[in-house]
Amino acid sequence: MEGQRVTREKLLKLTDTLAETTQTDWVSVYLRPDTLESQRERLIPNKDTNHRLMEVASFIEAERVQRELRRYGTGLVLFYSEDAALAVVPPIPVTDDLIVTGAPHTKPLRESLERQQRVVLVLVTWGAYVVALYTGGSLVRYKKGTGHIHARHKKGGSSQARFARRTEEQRKEFLKRVARHIDEELGTAQVERIYFGGNRLILKLLVEESRFLRDRAALLSPRTLLVKRATGDTMDSAIAEAYSAVVFQPNQ
């Protein structure tokens, strides 16, 4: 069972399609990230839905679903009937555990997608960075820059060691400068989510250097956005990826 990456716009259309159904035998399940992690809460409202939720639990345990749940860290939304099922790993964290029977209960998912969140993109690859603040999908402000870092020296001996030390120092100075620009550009900005894109090995080092990131570590998405080179041209694709979801349709 493969998940399909979908844009926010396509996911909104899917919620429209669900809302138009005339069937009333659906079970809509919303699970917060910590509920999925702890698995301590039993969200079974009555005997009529027990057998369905047992199937839901089995579906959640599927390896590919678990992988995306860990990668996103946003919880799970599932719409389930006797004839069809649609599971969504959403871009915005689920805030309340819910189980609703009847018509598909799409309102919480749709409202989270439509809400104008303030989010930050921090895109960093060795030698280039972009820091951007968004309200929803609209860019508020950004800063970009570059820094020279020597490529690895291929020759052996003392020359290789000398170039390795120089490269390491250049990387440290680059990250300090990027962290300073993050702190200066964002200051005390109130944000709801932070997305990092680029070389994932950079993030831990960058958090150590940046007060803004360190103080808001809990807001960092566990996902690393795919960015080969952090430039202004990558911002549009990065914010679209940040707002993307993964959809599973197990009955298809």
Residues 82 and 181 in one domain: no
103 assigned to some structural domain: yes
Cα dihedral 194, 198, 200, 203, rounded to 10, equals -50
* Domain boundary, last residue among 114, 141, 170: 114
Residue 68 sits in a domain whose CATH number is 3.30.960.10
* Domain boundary, last residue among 61, 86, 114: 114
Residues 65 and 173 in one domain: no
Provide the pLDDT for residue 52.
61
Residues 96 and 169 in one domain: no
250 assigned to some structural domain: no
**Span 30-62, pLDDT tens digits:** 999 998 887 544 444 444 555 666 666 777 778
**Span 221-241, pLDDT tens digits:** 999 999 999 999 999 999 999
Provide the pLDDT for residue 3.
85
Residues 60 and 151 in one domain: no
**Span 181-219, pLDDT tens digits:** 999 999 999 999 999 999 888 999 999 999 999 999 999
Residues 96 and 131 in one domain: no
**Span 115-170, pLDDT tens digits:** 999 999 999 999 999 999 999 889 999 999 998 665 655 555 556 666 667 778 88
Residues 83 and 128 in one domain: no
Supply the mean pLDDT for the chain.
87
